[in-house]
DNA sequence: TTGTAAGCGTTATCAG
DNA sequence: CTGATAACGCTTACAA
């Protein structure tokens, strides 16, 4: 392991000078020394020891991407702890800016605090945070925090979100415009201040606007694992009154379609289905899925930009960015006006 | 930040003793001191500074999960939904053993070396490594390396893999047993010493065993993005000779099915399709996809166990573990014997 | 323009 | 049983 000291000796200068050159504090160093140091760095293959830096400088260049697991949830592919859609995008942007990404699951608030102290973590990403004790802990941290897909807000915290309300509204409105009146709402558990809650409000408002009474018995909340979603589909097949379903996730929509199919119902002839997210799957099912599109990689990228700005103490113009959605029309919804 | 020194002062002992107690070197410490130290640790909320530990002890508890990007590829670290399946499992197992997971994409060998030095990385996971210069670099590291889904081998390196050959054989054999003779092979680029290559061998051997001549014009290699896979499906629809397709990934199989469908072909009536992996998608398409099952979370877990054993210098019984596959029969394959 | 030296939090060596 | 003390690699006042 080549160290700064090795470079200093090779060149015949002090550690200070080497350190200064490395950090571009090149104002008070002669041009010649600079080149000689840089040559030595290349030749000897110097690589900074981040632990040492971190120890002395209270900046570690470590960014945590944490996922908060409510106590004993089972890990499944659906319940992907790391929201794989945008994590690649996050790692890339972070790396290009000289940061390192640590993935960590925490169960309790003190798990989080310990983790942050362990590595002197510089900044944090979290997804799907609710208004709870965990969020409170987040707000009192002294490091930048960027929340993704969370409807909790605080002056200390930046948010990257989606037009969830609009998405729910747009989807429902689309179904209404196609002549549907008995529209089921399928989603995971509708938690206050969560993305699903917002989509739910959009659903309800679209109904109200069309003077269609909201009925609680058209709301179906359940887990997103494959077996459960398929079961919901077969259950919906027995409900003669329902002509359309709005599912708040494509994976859920697909499961419902599979269940309907298994029960002998045809989509969209017998019942229409709308999804949300516009993942690849939507183009692979038969019929293809009409859905609300969102740009996950962009979400990741924006989240990083937010964090970088805060880390570099740039003025934060706004604490929040909301990505637009749009409807992608495919085959899973049928018009009742024919 | 509470440090060891704070604890030492509070209890009235030296740093050494505190450190010893923390590490269970409790042989030469009085029972009373131990409890007093532990109480202080709780009360003052001591959390170890990993950077400091790392600096002094040449073990950082950092494990890298690296993905090697061939320079100009756009794919990111978890572009493959299948990879994200076991990354959660890896983080969990690592965490339970006191380690931390860093995600990192590297393009060149020296990117890798630098990263390792930066953080004094204790161990490494890599997926899909081929016999190239990058692999050579891996073999000469002095830290434990566990390869996942890679068919390169070296005494210094552990492998966690799958019965890819058997998978290819089993899938093809199944199609043959159903009376198919003109069986297409669809996959991403077949690289020497890669998982796809193994599956390809299994395909060829199953044909040979059934005395069906191998035909290169039944082999289709292309990218796995949705548009391309669907295009392949429509292309296959024009090939009157083909009665079945073996795709080496479910995502590919689904795309092909969508393309066939779009071109007016019915699966499995007109053409049969087999997948590989058994991801959720297989149960969501219509028809559901007959496929080769593999256990991704188990793969992740075993990879971690391998690494832990090497990190703790436990005797390595075998350098390699190959997970079994099995066929899951669904609806996308039709028997020609009726 | 460059060097000295202290100190970050921890562990390890060696004395007491 | 316990405690000084050096060392890990680096940054940063402060000197020169």
Burial of B175 (0-12, 13-18, 19+ CB in 10 A): buried
- Estimate in Å the CA B96 to C1' C6 gap, whole number: 38
Q: Are B228 and B256 in contact (CB under 8 A)?
A: no
Residue B70's pLDDT band (boundaries 50, 70, 90)?
Answer: low
Residue nearest to nucleotide C13 (CA to C1'): B16
Give the per-residue pLDDT at B324.
Answer: 97
Read off the pLDDT of residues A77-108 as tens digits, 9 standing for 90 and up: 334 444 666 788 889 999 999 999 999 999 99
A105 and B89: CB-CB below 8 Å? no
A307: number of Cβ within 10 Å:
26
> How many Cβ atoms from other residues are within 10 Å of residue A153's Cβ?
17
In this prediction, residue B84 carries a pLDDT of 67
How many angstroms separate the CA of A17 from the C1' of C5? 14
* C-alpha span between B338 and B327 (Å, rounded): 22
State the pTM of this model: 0.90
Question: What are phi and psi for residue B26, nearest 5 degrees?
Answer: -90, 5
Question: For residue B52, which residues of chain A lie inside 8 Å, CB to CB?
Answer: 51, 55
B258 and A284: CB-CB below 8 Å?
yes
Instruction: Measure A20 CA to nearest chain B CA, in Å.
Output: 19
CB A281 within 8 A of CB B229: no
Chain B positions touching A226 (Cβ under 8 A) are 280, 283-284
Q: Is the C-beta atom of A57 closer than 7 angstroms to strand D? A: yes
Interface contacts A/B by beta carbons within 8 Å: 158
A169/A180 Cα distance (integer angstroms):
14
In this prediction, residues A311-335 reach a mean pLDDT of: 93
Task: Answer yes or no: is A53 CB < 7 A from strand D.
Answer: yes
Measure the CA–CA gap between B199 and B186, rounded to whole angstroms: 11
Cα-atom radius of gyration of chain A, to the nearest Å? 26
Residue B74 in 3-state DSSP? Answer: coil
What mean pLDDT is reported for chain B?
A: 91
CATH class of the domain whose range is A4-48: mainly alpha
- Residue with minimal CA–C1' distance to D5 is B16
Contacts of A234 in chain B (CB under 8 A): none
Higher pLDDT, A22 or A87: A22
Q: Measured between alpha carbons, how far is B125 from B299 in angstroms, rounded to an integer? A: 12
User: What pLDDT, on a 0 to 100 scale, did the predictor assign at position B82?
Assistant: 56
pLDDT value of residue A221: 97
Nucleotide nearest to A14 (CA to C1'): C3
- Residues B108-123: pLDDT tens digits? 999 999 999 999 999 9
Preceding peptide of B236 cis, ω within 30°: no
Sheet holding A183-187, edge to edge: A219-221, A183-187, A244-247, A272-274
Q: How many helices (H) and strands (E) does chain B have?
A: 13, 12
pLDDT more than 70, % of chain B: 95
Burial class (CB in 10 A: 0-12, 13-18, 19+), B58: exposed
Model confidence at B74: pLDDT above 70: no
DSSP per position, A125-146 = EEES--SSHHHHHHHT-SS-EE
Secondary structure of A279-295 as H, E, C letters? CCHHHHCCCCCEEEECC
Q: Where in chain A is the domain with CATH 3.40.50.2300?
A: 62-163+297-325, 164-293
CB neighbour class for B61 (10 Å; exposed up to 12, middle 13-18, buried from 19) = buried
Backbone angles phi and psi of B239, in degrees to 5: -90, 100
**Long-range CB contacts for residues B12-16, cutoff 8 Å, separation at least 24:** B13/B37
Please report which confidence band the pLDDT of residue A71 belongs to, taking 50, 70 and 90 as the band edges.
Answer: very low
| Location of structure tokens 């069309």 | A210
Contact flag B103-A103 (C-beta cutoff 8 Å): yes
pLDDT tens, residue by residue, B28-46: 788 888 999 999 999 999 9
Tokens 């590490």, residue? Answer: B23
pLDDT of residue B276: 97
Model confidence over A273-313: pLDDT tens digits?
999 999 989 999 989 999 999 998 899 999 999 999 999 88
For A119, nearest residue in chain B (alpha carbons): B50
pLDDT digits (tens, 9 = 90+) for A114-160: 999 999 999 999 988 888 999 999 999 999 999 999 999 999 999 99
Q: Does the pLDDT of residue B92 top 60, yes or no?
A: yes
B4 half-sphere exposure, CB direction, 13 A CA radius: 15
Among A29-33, B100-104, B149-153, B245-249, whose mean pLDDT is lowest? A29-33
- Stated in angstroms, how far is B12 CA from D6 C1'? 22
Question: Domain B164-293 classified CATH 3.40.50.2300?
Answer: yes
Strands of the sheet containing A62-68, edge to edge, are A320-323, A157-162, A145-148, A123-127, A62-68, A100-106, B100-106, B62-68, B123-127, B145-148, B157-162, B320-323
Report pLDDT for B25.
Answer: 82
Nearest Cα neighbor of A171 from A198, A152, A190 is A198
Residue found under tokens 């362990």: A118
Structure tokens at B257: 């099915």
User: What confidence tens digit (pLDDT) does each residue in A164-209 have?
Assistant: 999 999 999 999 999 999 999 999 999 988 999 999 999 999 999 9
Q: What is the pLDDT of residue B72?
A: 41
Q: Do B306 and B290 touch, CB atoms closer than 8 A?
A: no
* Interface probe, candidates A42, A51, A262, chain B, greatest B C-beta count within 10 A: A51
CATH classification code of A62-163+297-325? 3.40.50.2300
What is the rounded CA–CA span in Å between residue A221 and residue B8? 53
Closest by Cα among B81, B99, B194, B200 to B148 = B194
Mean pLDDT over each residue of chain A, to the nearest integer: 91
Q: Which residue has the higher pLDDT, B203 or A280?
A: B203
> How many residues are present in chain A?
338
Beta strands in chain A (DSSP E): 62-68, 100-106, 123-127, 145-148, 157-162, 183-187, 219-221, 244-247, 272-274, 291-293, 320-323, 326-328
pLDDT at A251 over 60: yes
Nearest one of B271, B192, B256 to B224, comparing CA atoms: B256
Burial class, B104, CB count within 10 angstroms (exposed 0-12 / middle 13-18 / buried 19+): buried
pLDDT band at B315 (very low <50, low <70, confident <90, very high): confident
Please answer whether residues B147 and B129 qualify as being in contact, where contact means their C-beta atoms are separated by less than 8 angstroms.
yes
* CATH 1.10.260.40 domain extents, chain A: 4-48
Question: Which two three-digit tokens encode residue B41?
Answer: 């640790």
């Amino acid at each position: 392991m080549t160290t700064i000291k090795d470079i200093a000796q090779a060149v015949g200068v002090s550690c200070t000078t080497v350190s200064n050159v490395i950090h571009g504090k090149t104002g008070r160093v002669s041009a010649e020394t600079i080149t000689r140091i840089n040559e030595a760095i290349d030749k000897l293959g110097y690589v900074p020891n981040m632990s040492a830096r971190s120890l002395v400088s209270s900046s570690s260049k470590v960014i945590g991407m944490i996922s908060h697991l409510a106590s004993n949830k089972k890990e499944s592919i659906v319940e992907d702890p790391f929201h794989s859609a945008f994590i690649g995008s996050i790692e890339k942007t972070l790396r290009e800016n000289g940061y390192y990404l640590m993935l960590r699951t925490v169960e309790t608030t003190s798990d989080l605090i310990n983790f942050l102290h362990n590595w002197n973590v510089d900044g944090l990403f979290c997804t799907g945070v609710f208004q709870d004790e965990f969020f409170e802990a987040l707000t009192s941290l002294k490091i930048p925090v960027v929340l993704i897909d969370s409807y909790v807000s605080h002056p200390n915290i930046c948010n990257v979100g989606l037009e969830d309300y609009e998405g729910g509204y747009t989807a429902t409105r689309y179904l209404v415009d196609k002549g549907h009146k008995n529209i089921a709402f399928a989603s995971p558990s509708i938690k206050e201040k969560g993305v699903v809650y917002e989509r739910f409000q959009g659903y309800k408002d679209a109904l109200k606007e069309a003077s269609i009474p909201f009925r609680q018995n058209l709301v179906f909340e359940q887990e997103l694992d494959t077996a459960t979603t398929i079961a919901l589909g077969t259950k919906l097949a027995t409900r003669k009154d329902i002509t359309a379903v709005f599912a708040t996730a494509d994976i859920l929509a697909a499961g419902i379609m599979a269940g309907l199919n298994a029960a002998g119902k045809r989509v969209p002839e017998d019942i229409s289905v709308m999804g949300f997210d516009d993942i690849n799957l939507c183009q692979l099912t038969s019929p293809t899925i009409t859905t609300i599109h969102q740009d996950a990689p962009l979400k990741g990228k924006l989240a990083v930009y937010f964090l970088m700005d805060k880390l570099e103490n740039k003025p934060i113009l706004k604490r929040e960015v909301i990505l637009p959605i749009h409807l992608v029309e495919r085959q899973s919804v049928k018009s009742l006006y024919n």
